[in-house]
Structures are given as structure tokens and as C-alpha cells.
Amino acid sequence: MKVYQTNEIKNISILGSSGSGKTTLAEAMLFEGGVIKRRGTVAAGNTVCDYFPVEKEYGYSVFSTVFSVEWQDKKLNFIDCPGSDDFIGGAVSALNVTDTALMVLNAQYGVEVGTINQFRYTEQFHKPVIFIVNQLDQEKADFDGTIAQLKDQYGGKIIEIQYPISVGASFNAVIDVLKMKMYRWQPEGGVPEVLDIPASESDKAMELHKALIEAAAEHDDALMEKFFEEGSLSEDDMRAGIRAGLITRGMFPVFCVCAGRDMCVRRTMEFLGNVVPCTDKMPRPVTTEGEEVTPAPNGPASVFFFKTTMEPHIGQVSYFKVISGKIKEGDDLLNADRGSKERIAQLFTVAGQTRTEVEEMIAGDIGATVKLKDLRRGNTLNGKGCDYKFNFIKYPDPKYRRAIKPINEADSEKMMEILIRMREEDPTWVIEQSKELKQTIISGQGEFHLRTLKWRIENNDKVPIEFLEPKIPYRETITKAARADYRHKKQSGGAGQFGEVHLIVEPYYEGMPNPDIYRFGGQEYKISVRDTQVIDLEWGGKLVFINSIVGGAIDARFMPAILKGIMGRMEQGPLTGSYARDVRVIVYDGKMHPVDSNEVSFMLAGRNAFSTAFKNAGPKILEPVFDIEVSVPADYLGDVMSDLQGRRSIIMGMTSEKGYQKLMAKVPLKEMSSYSTSLSSITGGRASFIMKFASYELVPTDVQDKLLKAYEATQTEE
């Protein structure tokens, strides 16, 4: 493969819902581009893009796949992205390094929730979008209905470039209103006949042709002027206007395709080669320092790595985009994130797992390399004198969590190594070894996501695992002041143990005044503050520790031991063993022994006094509450709201968005355990949601009672 210049490179994401036919379209493009001699199928498990064992097992894409096609003296770099929302990380990575999105629609289902979700990301990253209506040969295909849905969703920006003569089993021809020709295929597809538009279609074709001319003129002042003067535009003029409209997202062209029979794929690729903007015409990436970087071949060498995979017999394959300058085999580059040096031993242009070696790659190009020793996904490698660093890919928060453990405890370390490696391949995994919960928690985008992870660990790495319901990270706090004292005394021959601590606990809030006078049981306690320590707790909230000892009742050297005892009980709260937070403790009196007092004695006395006072201070359990945002078709809104209300949610508001309702609510984490599965079941997979931690809130009394009883039962068993 020749070395392509920046103005000859086009980077394109292929997006769409599961089942829209993205991988089949990719296969047809590879065939038309001469990269493969025979088209594979998803059913046969022999496509270029779905080559991992888990993808062949389940028949759907799990990873995004990079492939390149040489077409009309251009290099088209594609990234075929998974359709399931559970694997959205691949689409997010791809959109950040490509310049245009092909949004594939299944003509049988039109605009699906996956379409809307992925379109939002194109909006967020301001990427041009071309809609591809696929599977027009299917019995239930409805092109006109799909166009109506698109226009309802995205308005007048939807511009038909093509429309089919008929759909279903008889589909074999489209009218192209840019070329003003009819394309007709034989049953085997491939190269079409190019014919004049039949008289029966001329009025409709001319109407759409005029709409296309007006849309093209609208995005270029010179073209608009020419259109007013001449009343029409040439094909080249229209291409220029469409390109301008794509770049500003002022128009979304629509093409017809039957990828499974290789119909209209070649024509779509001609459009991509002729009209889609090259990478040098698109907005510049910005460094972490806020500097825009021009993709200039003569600029400093800088390469961003957006994806890694682990492949048998090879190891780590690292995929990159050349942001600036050029790189070639043998280059020594510096890792801006890790400070290490890397040598680029080999450069490849790729088509799935097939790699073709190239000597050099220029700014804007996408490729792969292997066997880099210290490189991670998201790292930047720079040439001499360049200090660019990029961190522009932000992944969505996880929304489904499970505790994970190996069936055989001896495999624990191996399992963690596998999870860390898998997170490098799919950054939407979040792995936490929770000291608090005494569980390893794996969080992802949905049940499907975790099921795929389990299959890979058990089948690829031969480590049997199980998922468990994760414990909830509750917090404990108090609602009023209480006092307690405790004497620790132990005598067993030789030196004894003695320590006595008197203390007061009360709820802490920011800005509360210094303690003064307390009354308990008719007795008054006057506080004189000698020292205050404010401890920011790792798990959130604060512990404020006040030394109010007067008259040397407890020596100052024992105060750290008392604090240590209290901290030990804060880490394992008296109610359920959860972390305690937002407590102020005042140690105001005590006793010590000249011989038997030591740090252990005061640590135990402080711990037990604190525990007793805590239980008498109106103790309450707090639970994590999340903000969730559900996008749901209006037809299902009532069912979704009813389900949420059964989960102790508080509905915060609703907005309407072109046939979809956006529902905002606050829901306890405890109630979100299986929400992704339930939501999919209620809406037939047509809704989606995102969730983010909001705050800790008091649990209802009945829930607290259940938690206390459950904890007491475990303590009794132990």
C-alpha cells in the first residue's frame, strides 16, 4: 500500500443499532475495494470484522474493528463499531479519532433507540453524519416510514440522495437524485446497470433533485449566488455544497443499501471518496494544555493510541491515529504519559486481524503496531522536541455492577490479571477491589456486557468465575448528641492494662460552632477545647476529634491511641459494619494508672466508649442514591414510571425529545441491581439510561430495621 497524504485520507465510523447490518456492510466494502476476494457472513462466523471467538459464538460485534480500503486514489479508514449499547465504548473511541459517521438503519425497524443514542455522541463530538438505510430486500422493509421517522427526529436536515423503486424481495434498483440516474442490479449484486430515470419516477426524482440543490446551495454563499443566477448547480457544485453541509452538520444525506446482496455499496463508496471531507478539513484535536494541533505532515511527530487488543500468537496490538507529522518504522518516540521510550518496529494498515506492513504513515492516518513494551490505551507518543499530550476520550459511567469471584480461590490473582488486561481492551469496565465490601466489584454498561466478559474469561482463559449480588456501600451516622464512658481493666499477672475514657459524640456539619456546654441525665458537662483534629475520611464525610482533657486526667501521649480506637470503629460501624461518617467526638475526661496504662488500653477504651455512645445517638444508616436519566419511547413512559416508583425513586422531572421522553429520577443503588434488564424487558430494548452517583441519604425506617436484623444474624452466625 502506498503512503497516503493527509488530504487523501478519510476516517469514517460505522454506527447503528444491533442487527442493522454494519458488519455485513463492512464486508461488502472490503470486497468492493478488492481487500477480500469473497464476502463472509455473520451467520457463518467468517467476516473480517467479527474475528474474536466471543463474536463468533454470539453472532454480534463486541469490539470495534479497524479496516482500510483504497478507493479512487483515497485511503478510506473505517472503524466498524458494535451496535449494542453495552459496548458503547468502541463507538466513543471511534468517533474521537474519525471525521465522519455512517449511521446504518435497518429498513424493517427505522430509527431505533441505538440510533438515537449513538447519534447523540455524533452531536457531542460534532461529527458529520450520513444515514444508510440497509436491508431493503427484507419482507418488512419500509423505506418511506424510515424517512418519515428520520425527518420527525432530525427535521429538514434529512436529505435523500437515493430512494428505492420498490422494497422487499423485489428490491433491485434505486433512483440517485445527485447523479439523476437509476441504478439496477442483477440478483448477485455488484456492478449495477446505470440507466435513465423511468418516466414514472421523473416527477418524484426531480422534486428530490431540486431539494438537494437547494440544500447544497444553502451551505456555501458562492453556490447560493450561482443558484439564484442560473437556477441550478452542476454535480461538482452540489458535491462541494454537500461537503460544506456535512462539515457544519447542516445536512444529513440518506443512501439506500442492501449490504447482504452487495447492492448500492459501490455507489455509496463513490460518494465517500468524492464528497466526504478529508481529515485536514475537520476541526483540530486539542492537547491537554488547550493547544490546537494541525494535522501537518511536516509538523512534529505525535501519535495517539485509542485502542488495544490482545491477540493469540501476537500479544498486544496497539491502534493509533497520527495526529501530527509522520512516523516510520524504526522511529524512537517518547511516551508523554509514562515517560518511557518506545521504538516503532513495525507499522501496519489493517483489515480486522489481517495486517499489511507499511513503511511510513502521515498525519491523519490510522494504523496499528505491535510489541510496544510500556504503552497503554490513551497514551501519546511524541518525536524529539514535541510535548503534545492528548486525553480527549471520555467514556460513559457504568450502570450495571456485580461482585465477581473465581470458583477456585487459588485463581484470584490470575482473575485480577485478566480483568486488568480486559479493561485495557474495553475502558468502559470499572474494576474495584473493595476493602469495605470485601468483594471485587466489576461494573459495566449492562447485563449483556458482563455476560460477555464471563464467557471470555471462562472460554479464552479457562478460569471459571461466578457473579454475586454486590453488597451496598452503606454509611452510618448519628442524629443527636450522646455520652458514654468505658473502663478497660485487665490483670493477669505481671503488668496489667488500664484505661478509662469519657466522651461525647454528636452529628458533624460544616461550620458548626465549637462545643460549649452539654446536659445529659440532669448533669452538665462544660467543654474546654485544647486541641481539634479534622480528619477527611477516605470514604467521604469527616471525623472531628476534640481533646478537652483538663487537669491531666489522661496524658497527652495516649490521645492518638484513643483516636486510633475510634477510627477502628468508624471503619466498621456499630450498626451494620459499614463505614461511619460525619461525627464529632469530644474526649473530656478519663483515668489512667501510673503503671498499667498503655496505648492498647486506651485504644480499646476509646473504641468501646465510642461504640456505646454512637448507638445512643440516634444512629441512622445512609445509602448511596444515584441520579438516573431514562430515554424512553412515549408509549412506554407510564410502565417505566411505575417500575421506578416501585424502586423507591423520586421523579425529578421530564422533558420531551422527538417521540422520546427523558425521565430524570433519584434512585437508591440498592434498587438498581437489575434495572438494565428490567428496562429492556419493559420496553422491548427500546429505552436506555445513564446513572451517576448523587449523594448519601437516610434509608427509610423499615429498610433500616431489615438491615440491622440481617447484620445481627451474621454476627450471631460468626
Helix axis angle for 447-460 and 412-425, nearest 10°, is 120
Same domain, 132 and 44: yes
Q: What's 339's domain CATH number? A: 2.40.30.10
Residues 350-365 have pLDDT tens digits of: 998 899 999 999 999 9
Give residue 617's identity as a one-letter amino acid code. Answer: A
Cβ partners under 8 Å of residue 604, min gap 6? 488, 497, 499, 565
Predicted local distance difference test score (pLDDT) of residue 89: 93
Same domain, 48 and 190: yes
pLDDT reading at 716 higher than 80: no
Same domain, 71 and 51: yes
Residues 59-94 have pLDDT tens digits of: 888 899 999 999 999 999 999 999 988 999 999 999
Same domain, 129 and 190: yes
- Domain annotation covers residue 516: yes
Same domain, 492 and 455: no
Neighbours of 443 (CB within 10 A): 18
Burial classification of residue 593, based on how many CB atoms lie within 10 Å of its CB (0-12 exposed, 13-18 middle, 19 or more buried): middle
Average pLDDT on 24-47 reads 93
Same domain, 588 and 682: no
CA pair distance 358, 344, nearest whole angstrom? 12
pLDDT-derived band at 223, boundaries 50, 70, 90: confident
Residues 322-360 have pLDDT tens digits of: 999 999 999 999 999 999 999 999 999 999 889 999 999
Of 366, 365, 382, 368, nearest in space to 7 by CA:
365
Rounded to two decimals, the pTM is 0.85
Between 673 and 667, residue with greater pLDDT: 667
pLDDT reading at 405 higher than 70: yes
Provide φ and ψ at 24, rounded to 5°: -65, -40
Cell digits for 593?
A: 494508672
Average pLDDT on 706-714 reads 87
- Domain annotation covers residue 716: no
- Domain annotation covers residue 214: no
Predicted local distance difference test score (pLDDT) of residue 225: 84
Burial classification of residue 124, based on how many CB atoms lie within 10 Å of its CB (0-12 exposed, 13-18 middle, 19 or more buried): exposed
Give residue 636's identity as a one-letter amino acid code. Answer: Y
Average pLDDT on 488-512 reads 89
pLDDT reading at 639 higher than 60: yes
Q: How far, in Å, are 144, 544, 621 from residue 475 at the CA level? A: 55, 17, 6
C-alpha neighbours within 13 Å on the C-beta side of residue 687? 30
Are residues 251 and 215 in contact, defined by beta-carbon separation less than 8 angstroms? Answer: yes
Which alpha helices (H) appear in 155-261, and where do they start and end?
Answer: 199-218, 221-230, 235-247
CA pair distance 671, 679, nearest whole angstrom? 13
- Domain annotation covers residue 231: no
- Domain annotation covers residue 412: yes
Average pLDDT on 194-221 reads 92
CA pair distance 244, 250, nearest whole angstrom? 8
- Domain annotation covers residue 593: yes
pLDDT-derived band at 312, boundaries 50, 70, 90: confident
CA pair distance 237, 231, nearest whole angstrom? 13
Percent of the chain topping pLDDT 90: 77
Domain count of the fold of the chain: 5
Same domain, 342 and 430: no
Residues 546-567 have pLDDT tens digits of: 999 988 899 999 999 999 999 9
Cell digits for 535?
A: 480528619
Predicted local distance difference test score (pLDDT) of residue 659: 66
Q: Which residues pair with 210 in a beta bridge?
A: none
Are residues 484 and 613 in contact, defined by beta-carbon separation less than 8 angstroms? Answer: yes
Same domain, 498 and 609: yes
Predicted local distance difference test score (pLDDT) of residue 188: 85
Domain final residue, candidates 454, 471, 488: 471
Predicted local distance difference test score (pLDDT) of residue 677: 87
Same domain, 466 and 515: no
Are residues 26 and 48 in contact, defined by beta-carbon separation less than 8 angstroms? Answer: yes
What is the domain extent for residue 419? Answer: 400-471
Cβ partners under 8 Å of residue 551, min gap 6? none
Cell digits for 580?
A: 461511619
Predicted local distance difference test score (pLDDT) of residue 137: 95
Q: What's 113's domain CATH number? A: 3.40.50.300
Are residues 601 and 499 in contact, defined by beta-carbon separation less than 8 angstroms? Answer: yes
Q: What's 406's domain CATH number? A: 3.30.70.870
CA pair distance 86, 82, nearest whole angstrom? 9
Q: What's 508's domain CATH number? A: 3.30.230.10
pLDDT-derived band at 116, boundaries 50, 70, 90: confident
- Whole-number average pLDDT of the chain: 92
Residues 565-593 have pLDDT tens digits of: 999 999 988 888 899 999 999 999 999 99
Predicted local distance difference test score (pLDDT) of residue 291: 94
Average pLDDT on 471-495 reads 89
Give residue 219's identity as a one-letter amino acid code. Answer: H
Cell digits for 185?
A: 442490479
Residues 156-178 have pLDDT tens digits of: 999 999 999 999 999 999 999 99
CA pair distance 622, 582, nearest whole angstrom? 11
Between 432 and 188, residue with greater pLDDT: 432
Are residues 272 and 10 in contact, defined by beta-carbon separation less than 8 angstroms? Answer: yes
Q: How far, in Å, are 44, 85, 317, 356, 632 from residue 367 at the CA level? A: 28, 26, 10, 10, 38
Beta strand 620-633 with 688-698 is antiparallel
Which alpha helices (H) appear in 69-133, and where do they start and end?
Answer: 88-97, 113-124
Identify the sign of the CA torsion 630, 631, 634, 636: negative
Predicted local distance difference test score (pLDDT) of residue 658: 67
Same domain, 163 and 310: no
Domain final residue, candidates 616, 636, 666: 616
Largest CA distance in the chain: 113
pLDDT reading at 495 higher than 80: no
Are residues 373 and 342 in contact, defined by beta-carbon separation less than 8 angstroms? Answer: yes
Predicted local distance difference test score (pLDDT) of residue 551: 86
Are residues 600 and 561 in contact, defined by beta-carbon separation less than 8 angstroms? Answer: yes
- Domain annotation covers residue 244: no
Same domain, 593 and 635: no
Same domain, 645 and 569: no
Q: What's 627's domain CATH number? A: 3.30.70.240
Domain final residue, candidates 568, 583, 616: 616
Percent of the chain topping pLDDT 70: 99
Predicted local distance difference test score (pLDDT) of residue 382: 96
- Domain annotation covers residue 236: no
CA pair distance 581, 711, nearest whole angstrom? 19
Average pLDDT on 127-140 reads 96
